[in-house]
Amino acid sequence: MNRSGLEIGSLNDLLPTSAINLHLASTERREVLQELVNQIAEIAPDAAARKALLHALEEREKLHSTGIGDGIALPHARNALVGVVEHPILVFGRHSTGIPFGAIDGAPARLFFLIVAPTVTQHLAMLARISRLLRDPKLRQGLLGAETEVEVRELLRAAEARM
């Protein structure tokens, strides 16, 4: 367990460079979710796993948008994804202009963090940690301006170190 008492490592440990897309191209919610799912290398060759994850994400969005405001969306499934992934995974995507995502403030989402975990505990720990980090306007601005995947990881590492 780390110093925050959560059963997950740092977010950087959960966010491989291959799971970062700084140029999301889609113009609609479902398409963005598909782009984010396609960033997960572990399930890339498994069409059934990708379909199951996308379906779970769409069902969650029907319940209530995961757009949290300030240009951020935290897509995640309502339940743990047992059998889809073996370990928690975080995917980051950025859209240049934003996608309407049903956030309470009406702002289009430009920063997306897809949260995928095999257990509820890990899922909730990731959701809580990323939500807390994203309260920092400097981090949000940094993520909007990051030019490389490595820079995104460094911004998150530094933000976690300050927590």
Please list the alpha-helical segments (H only) found in the chain: 11-14, 29-38, 47-63, 120-133, 137-145, 149-162
Residue 117 φ/ψ, nearest 5 degrees? -145, 145
Distance CA 25, CA 112 (A): 13
Residue 5 φ/ψ, nearest 5 degrees? 80, 10
Apex 10 CA angle, 33 and 134, nearest 5: 55
Per-residue tokens: 136: 């920092």
Judge whether 76 counts as a catalytic residue: yes
Amino acid at 129: R
SS3 of residue 30 by DSSP: helix
Which of 14, 136, 118, 25 lies closest to 72 in space, CA to CA?
136
Q: Which of 23, 55, 64, 76 is catalytic?
A: 76
Residues marked as catalytic: 76
